[in-house]
Chain A
């Protein structure tokens, strides 16, 4: 049973990582990264690493995306349409 769960989560992680790379808009990428963070946390939990899962949840799905969003907001606010993140 647990093997099947691990396989599923692993494939989801791979898919989500691809999405995070392919998504070229940083604001949306931040969201994808936050989903990746949750998936990784889930993976770590099924791999019997609750400590790591907990910190991945705190860092990967909250802190890092938050910093990216703040960064995007600052750059957008500068109001030059050109760098509006393509």
Chain B
């Protein structure tokens, strides 16, 4: 069985290569069906592997089995979290491909399958990153998924915003990747190994009773790369610019799984490389991740509230939620890991569904601007209902999967940080509900325009011309995704299965039982009520919730200038170093 793990990468890549090789003769419909079959096949493979992932599998590519504990080959891991992420990636890719069925009606001059092929490569790259057990190999797949993502983001070359967002995305993420590679080189210099577990053991063996500056620097550099992908503050600036402009099916993947893979990478790399006595002490990691995570959640939520560009609003809500994920991972308890795993799965379904609904607006009206669309979409009832349901899922209304994950994480985090979880999810969901009320119900007066903002009007639809009728695929896909997010919360035993497989892979074999608790349910209901209240307030009393003076500088930071973002990246690396410094000084 373990020989099949690398096929998660090889099959989509082969599909993409075949599509390009035959692109000149293949009719478009055949290309899309091929994409479907390949992506679906990979998803099926991922599910089968996942079901067999107890005990966790490993595979040495090329059959370079370790001799005396030493190998020259590359290791891929097939444990619960890795295969779970690969499954989520594959299923979401399948959903995105279904959503994009007959989508871009642009002649590509003999490259009928180019979009599908890029999506397949994207799927393979994300699966490859999820199962990577070798640090350099993780970098390669990190870079592969970035490269495909840049191309997909800039896919609509007629759109000025799209190409600008894609370039910002490209520059910031590539710089993050190079920082990560510098870190890998430092680790190689110290330990002479590349497999993550071997590096971890090497650090423990050579660290003379604790970490030194080299360990700190490599930690900071590697985490910089991963946090850029995870869009933690202050590395997050590229995300709204890119996610707001990418084609909708791509947004579903970017926000649904790619950003979360950054958080997953942090978990994986810390757990296998830096968690030992020669690595970064747990207290320092907690300080770094909880601080950055809280900041990310706060800034993401505030910025989300003040957006009028609907896709940008959703992008900021992703920022806020990754902040919550980082807090949950940062406390380094088995419960926290389980909660975040569930939260990520639920969030993927909900967020992808919300983006899909935003895409419907874009293709129907040629706009994703909350102000311009005021009351326009009254007749799109199904989409409106799904948008509202998605918002409630985002708030963590039981029994959505997000709610289960959130409640488990909240319980694990405890204390005042619970407030961050409630507030961030309530504000982002409130913003989405506000959009629902204004756009789909036409409630309240038409709001006034602010000075410093990105408007979502005058966008080109992604289909050939404005749709007069919404195709069934574009309503079915978000419905299925929402149903999946719902099922993740209600399916009996699902939470327990996820928790068991996460704990088996990490957290030292400690098994915890994951279930709904009264506090969790009440907190979930509380954030949903708060979200509805906020939305109601915003719609009926727009003056009260308009951007106050203190939010303006925050908005000005998001300048769209790539130089600013690079400067923030350097600053972020420094902050990360400062946050993790005490442990190094103390040893």
- Classify A-B as touching or not with yes or no (CB < 8 A): no
